[in-house]
Structure 1
């Protein structure tokens, strides 16, 4: 995925298939960067054993590791990983994308399998924008993750690296999780199969259509197993949290300061639960609740997108060129009727076909930011006027489909397989049943949202249903927007209960991710916490 080539869109679009869950902010941040570092999945079969701390050569920006690894645990076999020395060098254009002046890149060596730390290792891509302020005022590293799962950290590192306040006192840093970006990548399918996966009808007519969808997903899953190799069983948020702790130690931090958006909040929460004594100042923006099971999670997100569409429709109805008339309810019924017609008779455009799932993807992605609403209004107006070509072009952009039909920059494979490892995905049969159920409360975009969680997992993990154990976690800043489509506001109250020392900052508004939406009230609160450790008063609301 990586689109979000356009920062000017306000971090609005994410390139993913049919509304993947917390993916949009990440994509929008990528600013057209292409993957760097090693992308060869054979990296998982590379060197064995922990790296030697003294084995790294010098180089620009090389940091001296601590004499002993901060909080490296009791396993001596991990010591070499915790004390390795990053060698920072200017990123190449391929690694960081055009225009990322000043960004530095390095590698982070981690075990392929933490249960066998003396076995195979992989190298993760890490990035840094050095602090710009005086040395005496610097606070250390601020690690970031923009979401996905599957999005590279490059865009968010670059964006926050230009922050007037945070970048003056923090090194802005991040690592691409295993399976993602410049780290060893997840690979699953060629272009034609990617097309088929992303055009699965979210309102299948009968059991045979569900079986057909299941067969496509099975073919995709088998491709993931064949192409990704021995990396596949070692993906997921739990192992990413272990990698993040190695990263913390390598940065020389006893406690980690962290800013996570969307899925990045899920990673941050899992890390905090596992390592509460290593949590510094954590900001989680666009909350994902790890304690919600996969069915409830998909249902809640479906209702979030429905609510967001009606907010868009209410705005659209006040503006010239809106294809809808009447009320937001009328608009929802109108779009549902249009989607049903496309489902029954997909639109042929030369050698391409525009189906219901593809239109649903575009509409959903453009709901991530009100700054994208004018463009969505124009796309829908063109569709209603009998010109579907702009909608197809918008799909290609959001899905990172190249003109030659390839998906080299798509995050879809990583999104699928990290979701599988986390036990978050649904079978085709489960998705079909839940999509019919949510049609009662989320008829417009609910089915497409549910189907975005459908997969055939070659390496499935268990569905986590137990609530987050955050009793010992220090106070964090939890940012939640009331009409967030992808990470609905309902998660805020639950996480506040599970993280009693933390404070929820409510944003009365629309869109996904408040800080990157340049909300001044949110920026002041987040900066005050990250720079001075001051949490806002409980009950604070920004608008």
Structure 2
């Protein structure tokens, strides 16, 4: 795709482009009663294979030691990789096929089965997350399960959506391909048409953009369950991975084993409602960060919380007219990159003091330096120091979301919704506007209609919600648990995105008890921070 430094480009709506960042944090304490024993459903006989898909369900995965062709060589000999085939179009199973990549870390002890994992996105790589299971999951879980991560269709090492070179992604992220401006529905649709043309040209498999919906990915997940020799699915999904898991449970309720959905996405929400919820969530998280910053040493934000938030906005506005130099002479900290760094840091409070506060202090100093904030923005986008992007989340997320959410309303309604989002989030709202207009211009629809998911007849499903989650607000987890007939809610009173693997002992022990023994917590159990 050709770019021009004089072209004006509308920034991609954040409701379409928000990604997932996970990390670990401190200990918590539990509130609530004794756990209630519950044994997830297990099939009395092998699950039925959908008619016409017998060849896919009966294929055998050819596991091999992972090499540079599947992310990177692993010193740990427990890592193996495999690729399986699924139909491009489940309505035409005898037609073209695509590949789904998997990566497996063998259990350290005697394996009790396979735990399939998805890190979110959409566009997050399950192949990559498996490399860090020792840091994310408890030792008991890694002792007991073969952990298998997979890249959903359109993502990463699977048959993938492709749109831009690394250099073009640098330009898009920095805004150096054109001056950032307030978008309109017409501009958003025009930008989508240009983006779609680039993706259509660069994506190797014709028709892939029409077949990357979450429903199709959930059908792939059932093939992966069978290929991994499991009668029922044991699954842990974060963020968007909860949407994938809930969709699977609704399609295949009899095949659900022990399922944990952390950072729930309410399947009944419209694209407008997702944007509004994230606008409110990120703006609230920014205020919590500013208050935390001002309570400690070396905070560059003076006055009260309102004043501190305004100083962050003023910094972003000033960078819009004068980029800040960094230690990389070829790259400056532009407003889009600075905003990405601030927003990305709100996913994880562990990055606040040592990273975000340091970066803001450097950028606001007498000799402004944008190096730290640039590094944060790059880490959030999975860009390495050599300028290479690991994965294709920036490309896949639009393709998936525009298939999952039907376009609703008209230009007048989109303008009204944009004003509501800007009002809810003066700092980040501009990037959350006009998602419907963008998807209208993208023009790849699946016919999906957003509705509640009940998964009637499924085994118990544990939903984990974080009260201060900016990306998947807590109310979404509450709603998801309520919709699921067998849903059980676990609440963590904390900040940041998702809980398991970073919220400490209470959440960890509850999730482990369910994954390892099938023990559900008491309904509405709450884990609180120190």
| TM > 0.5 | yes
* Selected match of 1:383 from 363, 368, 380: 363
Q: 1:151 to 1:280 in 2, by over 3 A?
A: same
Which stretch shows the higher mean deviation, 286-295 or 228-237? 228-237
Deviations 1:357-385 (A, max 9, x none): 22211111111111111200111111111
Does 2:355 correspond to 1:355? no
The within-5 A match list for 1:194-209 is 194-199=169-174, 204-205=181-182
State how far apart, in whole Å, the 2-side matches of 1:437 and 1:202 are. Answer: 24
| Partner residue, 1:420 | 402
Structure 2 unaligned regions, length at least 5: 1-11, 25-44
How far residue 485 of structure 1 moved from its aligned partner, in angstroms, is 1.1
* Structure 1: 5+ residue stretches without partners: 1-15, 30-68
Contact 2:151–2:157 (Cα < 8 Å) also in 1: yes
1:184-263 alignment runs, 5 A limit = 184-191=159-166, 193-199=168-174, 204-205=181-182, 214-228=189-203, 229-263=206-240
Evaluate the alpha carbon distance shift between residue 119 and residue 212 of structure 1 in structure 2; reply closer, same or farther with a 3 A threshold: closer
Q: Which moved more, 1:114-123 or 1:192-201?
A: 192-201
CA offset digits 1:154-204 (Å, max 9, x no partner): 233233367411122211113211111211111012345434543569983
The 5-angstrom pairing of residues 453-472 of structure 1 reads 454=438, 456-462=441-447, 464-472=449-457
Tell me whether 146-155 or 241-250 shows the greater mean CA deviation.
146-155
3-state secondary structure, aligned to 1:538? coil
What TM-score do you get using the length of structure 1 for normalisation? 0.81
Moved more, 164-173 or 446-455: 446-455
| Change in 2 beyond 3 A, CA 1:120/1:20 | closer
Instruction: State the secondary structure of the residue aligned to 2:442.
Output: coil
Shift of 1:541: 0.7
User: What SS does the aligned partner of 1:188 have?
Assistant: coil
Give SS of 2:292's match: helix
| Alpha-carbon distance, 1:464 to partner | 3.1
Say if 1:329 and 1:184 are closer, same or farther in 2 by CA, change over 3 A. same
2:66 corresponds to which of 85, 88, 91 = 91
Q: 1:511 aligns with which of 487, 496, 508?
A: 496
Paired position in structure 2 for 1:482: 467
Q: Distance in 1 between matches of 2:132 and 2:343?
A: 24
Considering only aligned residues, what root-mean-square deviation do their CA atoms show, in Å? 3.1
Alpha-carbon spacing, 1:401–1:74, altered in 2? closer, same or farther (3 Å):
closer
Task: Describe the superposition over 1:93-112 as per-residue Cα deviations: whole angstroms up to 9, x where unpaired.
Answer: 44243546111111211112
What CA distance in whole angstroms lies between the structure 2 residues aligned with 1:219 and 1:242?
Answer: 31
Match among 128, 144, 166 for residue 155 of structure 1? 128
Which residue number corresponds to residue 3 of structure 2? none
How many pairs are equivalent? 483
How far 1:20 moved relative to its partner?
6.1
2:13 and 2:502 map into 1 onto residues whose CA distance is: 23
Among 301, 306, 310, which residue is 1:324 paired with?
301
Q: Which position in structure 1 is the counterpart of 2:21?
A: 25
Q: Is the deviation greater in 458-467 or in 495-504?
A: 458-467
Q: Secondary structure at the match of 1:443?
A: coil
Q: Secondary structure at the match of 2:273?
A: helix
Q: Aligned in 2, Cα 1:353/1:239: closer, same or farther, shift over 3 Å?
A: same
Note if 1:441 corresponds to 2:424. yes
- Superposed displacement of residue 327, structure 1: 2.1
CA gap 1:292/1:266 in 2 versus in 1, 3 angstroms: same
Distance 1:426 1:222, change over 3 A: farther
Contact 2:21 2:344 in 1 (8 A): no
Go from structure 1 to structure 2 and tell me whether the alpha carbon gap of 1:107 and 1:366 turns closer, same or farther (over 3 Å shift): same
Question: 100, 105, 119: which is aligned to 1:146?
Answer: 119
Distance (Å, rounded) in 1 between the aligned partners of 2:132 and 2:75: 9
The yes-or-no answer on 1:123 pairing with 2:99 is: yes
Contact 2:345 2:376 survives alignment (8 Å): no
Deviation sequence 1:339-374 (CA, Å, 0-9, x none): 233345555776655433222111111111111112
Give the C-alpha shift of residue 253 in structure 1: 1.5
Q: Does 1:501 align with 2:483?
A: no
Change (3 A) 1:195 1:130: closer
Whether the 8 Å contact between 1:294 and 1:463 is mirrored in structure 2 is no
Give per-residue Cα distances to partners, 1:133-157, cap 9 Å, x unaligned. 23xxx42111111111112112332
Question: What displacement does 1:432 show?
Answer: 6.5
Q: Distance in 2 between matches of 1:440 and 1:290?
A: 25
- CA gap of 1:343–1:22, structure 2 versus 1, over 3 A, is closer
Aligned mates of 2:74, 2:508 — CA distance in 1: 24
Measured after TM superposition, the shift of residue 427 of structure 1 is 11
Partner deviation per Cα, 1:12-50 (whole Å, 9 max, x = no partner): xxxx99686662236x79xxxxxxxxxxxxxxxxxxxxx
Alpha-carbon distance in 2 for matches of 1:192, 1:212: 23
Mapped to 1, the partners of 2:163 and 2:118 lie a distance apart of: 23
1:274 partnered with 2:274: no
Shift of residue 205, structure 1, vs aligned partner: 4.4
TM-score after normalising by structure 2: 0.83
Rounded to whole Å, the distance in 2 between the matches of 1:154 and 1:540 is: 32
Aligned pair 1:333/2:333, yes or no?
Answer: no
